[in-house]
Structure 1
Amino acid sequence: MRANLARHGRRLLVCRASAPSCAAYANPARRRPITRPVARRDFQRTFFNVLFQKPPREVRQPEYEPGWMQIMVWRSRMLDSLRPPPRRELVEAWKKLMQSKLKRRVPLNSTQALQCRRLLEYLAEPSNPEQVRPLSSAHLSMARQVLLDIEPQERDQNHLDLAKALHAVWSSGNFTGKARSPELQWSYFVKSLCRYGASLEAMQELCTKWNDPAYAAYLDKEDRLVEAVARGLAREGKETELVELIEYAEKHGVPYDAGTQAVMVVFFADLDRVPETQNWLSKPITQSYSQVEVYRAVASFAMRNGLQDWAMPLFLELGQSQPKKKYWDALSQAILLVGKGLGEVDTMMSHMVDRNGALSPDTHTLNGLLRVAVETEDAALGDEVLSLGAAKGLAPNGETYLILLQMRLATGNVAGAQAAYEQVKYLEPWNHESRPGLFDEYRQLLSRYLVFLSRESPPDFKLILALLEAVEEEQILLDPETVASLCLRFLENDQHFEVMDILSVHSFFFSEAQREVVQNAFIAFCLDRHTSTSRAWGGYQLLHQFFQDTSFERRSRLMEAFFDRKRPDMASHVFGHMRQHRNKSYHPKMDTYIRCLEGFARYPDPEGLGMVHNMLKMDTTIQPTTKLYTAMMLAYTACDKPLAALDFWNEITQSREGPSYASLEAVFWTLERKPGGDRKAREIWERIERMDLELPPAVYNAYIGAVAGSGNEKEVRSLIMDMSSFVGAEPDAMTLAVAHNALPGQELQARFREWAKKKYRNTWAELDKVGQRLNEYSLCQFKINRVMKA
């Protein structure tokens, strides 16, 4: 405080009353009259105001799936080497989680699969004399159903590891209850491998059991494992292995049938591989008809590749064979896809017959035609299909409106999408129609609808909130991309409670990879220069509250971003959250401390600096270095504490590592801001001269600034003129600006400007292009970008 008062007093004594020459470029602050609010004398009934005041909105508590928190508590205790919960509680937590999954039809995410695998291995270990029953066959069966019966959203190694652990427990027999045959458990294992991205391993399993009579029935009769593995290989894009499997199967007693044909034709048709598609389609099969999906895929394939003439005979042959109703529906869709009109479809409907007599179109026929309109993105065709259905007395059902919702979203029809959604919500086709997969289709479309609404300008927040209520009622888990998009729109509208509600409902159901999708959106929002600082800070606070797993690198970027926004107080809070994290891998490293301190050097914050310094003192993992001491010196100097900064210079000089060029520049900068600092600066400079060091211009400029800071204007001129003899470079605009800005008086600055304009005319002309301002002492300052680094 004394040094600060002395510095203020000294500068005021040196300053003159006359205005500086840069006053034309800057407007000094003027004293303005204080406007006082007019006192209100209105009578208010404060008792009733308090009585009927609207209560503040409560923050929603995070939601977790049943049993999941108990599993996470167990894992946390195991990591901390603490006593785990009793096994009976863990078995009950396993049961609750799997039952919740089967009831809500929500798949295991990657993180849950990882922890469930670890828990399964723990529970399967032989227990101590403690009399606790292990997992039963029913518990294992529930996990198998979750893996195989619910369509996954993620397919990764964690799911595979869980499937392998399940199979190992089944094989060991370490469970209670009825055990199924090992052949059946093996077939479940192979299906799990195919489902979660290990079809090559599943193929190897098939080959090892191929000649075993006990497993023969599972290859092509009961579980059709050859077809299942082929579908897995096709999904993973393993073309060579897929062809090898089908050829191997044919050579070893498993015929090429309609199922394997569907896999091969659809695979190559989706890739628009014409010769391969035609070859696998023409290859004879053991059944009379190909599967319906084959005709549908061939029709789309023919439309994309201009092969309508090649495909038409195939469809005519199908119609002449009097197939079942589902084939007629596929045929009507194929006719539209190969370029025929709806009139031809109408005519064909009157000739639909199977071997039992005439057939009539129904709502399923109508829905199939609508899906063609969606595929071709032809809204007019969709309206014509609806008109045709009305003419034939076909009433639309819930699936019809589900398809219409998809069509309206594709064409950007907001009103039409809302009308279709209301009908879908009212009819709930997934509860009243037998077609599988409708609920998952509805979930995906609802996510798309919300993203569509969030991208409208301006968004209809009232409608979005109504849809989110429906999502919560139906216990639908939105996609992470949808959650991210909605959160950003609400953040832009300053609706933080809505963001908290969305994250409370969904974020804790996501896996680590899915949570990263939402985190990335928040971080991009906070880092965007177009985002206001207040909104960026609000976004960070929500990120800190809901995503404690935000990576160390992302936190460091956020800290630097708030420094760039000239908010060191916010940056110091980000740093503090890193230091207080319970996971030590998130704690600041040496480089983090240095970057934070360099931020304080650019944008001073004494309170934040004190907090970071105290954390550094208590951080036993950090061993101070010259670079760290230099950063501390810069930060304390910027916060007008040059005496404290010089303490770190003493630490540097007494350390084994010794000073660096950066620390020399920093100490001269400190002495520039310290009254009487020129004496110490000359002592340091004499040592440098005795050591005959080659100095960079930045260090010499800093020395000039230290001498100028004490008002030695004539000595500064001499140092500038002798600069080339010391550093081998002529003075530049930075040299003149540092000297000018450091001089502590208006008269001193005026004399220096007059001298520099004559002596270094061209260099000063460059400096004149730089903006100028008045500091708190009414001294002229060039707006140079003098970045101090440790």
Structure 2
Amino acid sequence: MLDNVRPPPRAELLESWKKLMQHKLNSRTPLNSTQALQCRRLLEWLSTPKPNKPIRPLTPSDLSYARQALLQIEPIERTQHHLDFAKALHSISMSRDFPKTPKATELQWTYLVRAMAMYGESCEAAKMLYEKWAQPEYAVYLTQEDRLLEAVARGLSREGCEAELVELMKYAEDHQVPYDGGLQAVMVNFFAQRDRIDETKEWFTKPRAGGKLPRPSIYRTIASFAMRNNLQEWATSLFVELGELQPRQKHWNVILQAILILGKSLAEVDVMMSHMVHGKSQLSPDAQTINGLLRVAAEQRDVALGEDILALAAKRGIAPDGETHLILFSLRLASNNLVEAREAYKQVRHIQPWTLETKQHLFGQFSKAVNEYLVALAAQQQPDFKLISSLLEAVEEDRIRLEPATVAALCLRFLENDQHFDVMDILSIHSFLYSEAEREIVQSAFVSFCLDPSTSTNRAWGAYQLLQQFFQDTSFERRVELMKGFFRRKRPDMASHVFGHMRAHRNKSYHPTMETYVTCLEGFARFPDPEGLDMVHNMLKMDTSLQPSTKLYTALMLAYTGCGQPLIALDCWAQITQSREGPSYATLEAIFWTLEKKSGGHTQARDIWDKMERMDLEIPPGVYNAYIGAIAGSGNEKEVRALILKMASVVGSEPDAMTLGIAYNALPGQLLQQGFQEWAKGRFPEAWAELMKVGRRMDEYSLCQFKIQRPLKA
């Protein structure tokens, strides 16, 4: 759609490129998949030569900003668009005539390998390592400067590529690459998460380079793994051995956590705290020690344990810090204690522990907890909308990213409470920051809300209007479902507006197809709306992408008949009879229904029937039922009875409830209906009893009508 659109001036695009990348780096916000796609397209356009036209070329710093945004920020999405962007950066960096710095080629290679491992092509990244392994100028980046080997191993682990991961580790060992703490963490985590006992033990006990202790995080993983797999005795011996080595504070903290994880009491933790020694120094528990214990309680959702840990901290004179309150916030949420969660939230937001340089990672944890808090508040039977609104103001102030699922949950609760302006506020702030895949999560929630029969029609329409305003990219298929949904609600006026929005969309792929027109027209046949029908028919007349067909004309016949305009429907019949394609069985059903609604239509109906008999056509029951309706519509009750009696000989099946219902509903008078009812009830008692189950209503002419669902399909 945008291929033929004139782009903004090149200088503006370059400036926007730089501002976007600098913003990403400053806010530590990753590029989403849609941004990666558009950045790659912009990069290719900016790097395309313009003969005989002086332009400002891309500089190495322009590319460097983008590369940093890709590689230095932990991504939320890992997609092909990110990979394509990384490959384009590499290709352009290598092809341009930039001033060559020492090791420029090797550095560009490392950036590409790291990006591939980071965004889902770790197997290809591993192959690139193998290709350069023997070259000294590249080998230095494997384990020293960039630690590419560990980065690729982490990628393989993330993607679940076990065979490739083990092969890479064996290849590294065969080539004298030391097995260090980083590689050990990758391997132990990979197999421990899958509860693979033998492999976990093997990679944990494998000798490490330099004889250093495994990282504290590895011991933490081992403790949880042992508890899940009933290996407490084995794990206990490991932690006893670790304690005898008199390690540093961080290892002691993990030993204390392991005591709780392996099912021991907090009293044993208290005792162990008095025996923490590093060399000749006595170690004392601190806030980090307490925070580690609280994280165990949060993982186990054990509120009582959390309270006991706080009491232990108070006993030892350890004051809670910002991280403590953050963990308590998560613990309260895990136990669904929203009252105390609110207090913990206030404490965390007041202290803001992530402002410390060593604890910047806590902001991500806080953002995740705030999302969980908002979802929990929205899930309450009677949400506190005032509290939710105040939290949303704080979210905007703190620049917290709301997850698509959080936005969806909040929007639905606001819609249920008729707070449309609050929905608009949320969407205007957050919806445009999401990738296409993330936007679909919110769209799906809105569409489900609109289609839910328990949602009132007014609220469904309000939700659709917001969807139309903020999500122009709502898929074609979803728009069709929404149109059908409003027809099911017996609101053809709303359905026609949905159709009109599709037709007016700037992207032609969203325009109605032949099937969409037919579906809409069939809807008008069941739920009449003359004004909406005129609008759709006018759109059809101006739609040069479609050629009229029998199916389309049949749908128009049904729509105009349903809207009380059988004469226009007969014009469509004339178009069909003069076409090369000719009428279908559905067309025959439609014309007989049209003639049922037209005064004196039985005469033309007989003419058509006679022609059908002369052609010796095989007559389906649906067409025969429609013919009976056309005859009944003019009050010919005796002829209707005769047609019903010989139905079996014509179509090969006995009259059913639909046959009797069509005939009864079409008869234009109470006396005719009463006479037919007495006859049908005595002649076809089973079919009549089945018909009585559907119920009856009175129409605008005070005639009784069975609530049969007559198939009106083109």
**Normalised TM-score (structure 2):** 0.97
Residue 537 (structure 1) aligned to one of 443, 461, 472: 461
**Partner residue in 2 for 1:643:** 567
| Offset of residue 749 of structure 1 | 2.2
For 1:449 and 1:688, how far apart are their aligned partners in 2?
A: 69
Secondary structure at the aligned position of 1:370 is classed as helix
**Partner residue in 1 for 2:628:** 704
Q: How does 1:747-762 map to 2 (within 5 A)?
A: 747-762=671-686
- The answer to whether the aligner puts 1:611 opposite 2:535 as a matched pair is yes
Larger mean Cα displacement after TM superposition, 494-503 or 373-382: 373-382
| Offset of residue 755 of structure 1 | 3.1
Q: Indicate if the aligned counterparts of 1:137 and 1:177 stay in contact, CA closer than 8 A.
A: no
Secondary structure at the aligned position of 2:697 is classed as strand
**Partner residue in 2 for 1:602:** 526
Residue 526 (structure 1) aligned to one of 429, 450, 455: 450
- The answer to whether the aligner puts 1:376 opposite 2:300 as a matched pair is yes
Percent of pairs with identical residues = 64
**Partner residue in 2 for 1:460:** 384
**Partner residue in 2 for 1:18:** none
The one-letter code matched in structure 2 to 1:743 is L
| Offset of residue 612 of structure 1 | 0.5
| Offset of residue 170 of structure 1 | 2.2
Residue 178 (structure 2) aligned to one of 255, 266, 286: 255
- The answer to whether the aligner puts 1:243 opposite 2:166 as a matched pair is yes
Q: How does 1:264-663 map to 2 (within 5 A)?
A: 264-287=187-210, 288-355=212-279, 357-432=281-356, 434-663=358-587
Larger mean Cα displacement after TM superposition, 125-134 or 357-366: 125-134
Secondary structure at the aligned position of 2:157 is classed as helix
**Partner residue in 2 for 1:225:** 148
Q: How does 1:209-220 map to 2 (within 5 A)?
A: 209-220=132-143
The one-letter code matched in structure 1 to 2:565 is K
Larger mean Cα displacement after TM superposition, 304-313 or 732-741: 732-741
| Offset of residue 172 of structure 1 | 2.4
| Offset of residue 356 of structure 1 | 5.8
For 2:322 and 2:176, how far apart are their aligned partners in 1?
A: 44
The one-letter code matched in structure 1 to 2:171 is Y
For 2:597 and 2:683, how far apart are their aligned partners in 1?
A: 27
**Partner residue in 2 for 1:28:** none
For 1:433 and 1:399, how far apart are their aligned partners in 2?
A: 13
**Partner residue in 2 for 1:150:** 73
**Partner residue in 2 for 1:92:** 15
Secondary structure at the aligned position of 1:729 is classed as coil
| Offset of residue 558 of structure 1 | 0.9
- The answer to whether the aligner puts 1:116 opposite 2:69 as a matched pair is no
Rate the CA distance shift 1:426–1:676 in 2: closer, same or farther, 3 A: same
**Partner residue in 2 for 1:83:** 6
Q: Indicate if the aligned counterparts of 1:124 and 1:174 stay in contact, CA closer than 8 A.
A: no
| Offset of residue 253 of structure 1 | 2.1
Secondary structure at the aligned position of 1:582 is classed as coil
For 1:345 and 1:759, how far apart are their aligned partners in 2?
A: 88
- The answer to whether the aligner puts 1:182 opposite 2:105 as a matched pair is yes
Q: Indicate if the aligned counterparts of 1:601 and 1:788 stay in contact, CA closer than 8 A.
A: yes
Larger mean Cα displacement after TM superposition, 774-783 or 438-447: 774-783
Secondary structure at the aligned position of 2:473 is classed as coil
Q: Unaligned stretches of 5+ in structure 2?
A: none
Q: Indicate if the aligned counterparts of 1:234 and 1:267 stay in contact, CA closer than 8 A.
A: yes
For 2:662 and 2:142, how far apart are their aligned partners in 1?
A: 83
For 1:335 and 1:505, how far apart are their aligned partners in 2?
A: 46
The one-letter code matched in structure 2 to 1:530 is S
Deviations 1:374-433 (A, max 9, x none): 122211111111111111121111111111111111111111111110001101111135
Larger mean Cα displacement after TM superposition, 607-616 or 205-214: 205-214
Let me know the Cα RMSD of the aligned residues: 1.6
**Partner residue in 2 for 1:57:** none
The one-letter code matched in structure 1 to 2:309 is V
Q: Indicate if the aligned counterparts of 1:491 and 1:535 stay in contact, CA closer than 8 A.
A: yes
For 2:693 and 2:111, how far apart are their aligned partners in 1?
A: 76
For 2:64 and 2:116, how far apart are their aligned partners in 1?
A: 17
Rate the CA distance shift 1:340–1:773 in 2: closer, same or farther, 3 A: closer
| Offset of residue 153 of structure 1 | 0.5
For 1:329 and 1:530, how far apart are their aligned partners in 2?
A: 53
For 1:709 and 1:640, how far apart are their aligned partners in 2?
A: 14
| Offset of residue 87 of structure 1 | 1.6
| Offset of residue 484 of structure 1 | 0.8
Rate the CA distance shift 1:175–1:482 in 2: closer, same or farther, 3 A: farther
Secondary structure at the aligned position of 1:776 is classed as coil
| Offset of residue 178 of structure 1 | 6.8
Deviations 1:340-368 (A, max 9, x none): 22222222222222236222211111111
Deviations 1:269-327 (A, max 9, x none): 11111111111111111132111111111111111112111112221222122222211
Rate the CA distance shift 1:182–1:425 in 2: closer, same or farther, 3 A: same
Q: How does 1:5-24 map to 2 (within 5 A)?
A: none
The one-letter code matched in structure 2 to 1:237 is G
Rate the CA distance shift 1:130–1:394 in 2: closer, same or farther, 3 A: farther
| Offset of residue 436 of structure 1 | 4.0
**Normalised TM-score (structure 1):** 0.88
- The answer to whether the aligner puts 1:719 opposite 2:636 as a matched pair is no
| Offset of residue 227 of structure 1 | 1.3
Rate the CA distance shift 1:394–1:180 in 2: closer, same or farther, 3 A: farther
Deviations 1:423-460 (A, max 9, x none): 01101111135124111111111111111111111111
The one-letter code matched in structure 2 to 1:619 is D
Rate the CA distance shift 1:611–1:179 in 2: closer, same or farther, 3 A: farther
Rate the CA distance shift 1:745–1:503 in 2: closer, same or farther, 3 A: same
For 1:764 and 1:307, how far apart are their aligned partners in 2?
A: 72
| Offset of residue 129 of structure 1 | 3.7
Q: Give the structure, 1 or 2, with the largest relative contact order (CA under 8 Å, sep 6 or more).
A: 1
Secondary structure at the aligned position of 1:692 is classed as coil
For 1:753 and 1:269, how far apart are their aligned partners in 2?
A: 75
For 1:528 and 1:310, how far apart are their aligned partners in 2?
A: 54
| Offset of residue 595 of structure 1 | 0.8
Rate the CA distance shift 1:175–1:421 in 2: closer, same or farther, 3 A: farther
Secondary structure at the aligned position of 2:358 is classed as coil
- The answer to whether the aligner puts 1:193 opposite 2:124 as a matched pair is no
For 1:649 and 1:695, how far apart are their aligned partners in 2?
A: 19
| Offset of residue 715 of structure 1 | 2.3
**Partner residue in 2 for 1:137:** 60
Deviations 1:670-703 (A, max 9, x none): 1111111111111111111211212112212221
Secondary structure at the aligned position of 2:209 is classed as coil
Q: Unaligned stretches of 5+ in structure 1?
A: 1-75
| Offset of residue 762 of structure 1 | 3.9
For 2:30 and 2:141, how far apart are their aligned partners in 1?
A: 26
| Offset of residue 225 of structure 1 | 1.3
| Offset of residue 550 of structure 1 | 0.8
Residue 593 (structure 2) aligned to one of 669, 677, 683: 669
**Partner residue in 2 for 1:742:** 666
| Offset of residue 764 of structure 1 | 3.0
For 2:11 and 2:97, how far apart are their aligned partners in 1?
A: 16
For 2:165 and 2:49, how far apart are their aligned partners in 1?
A: 41
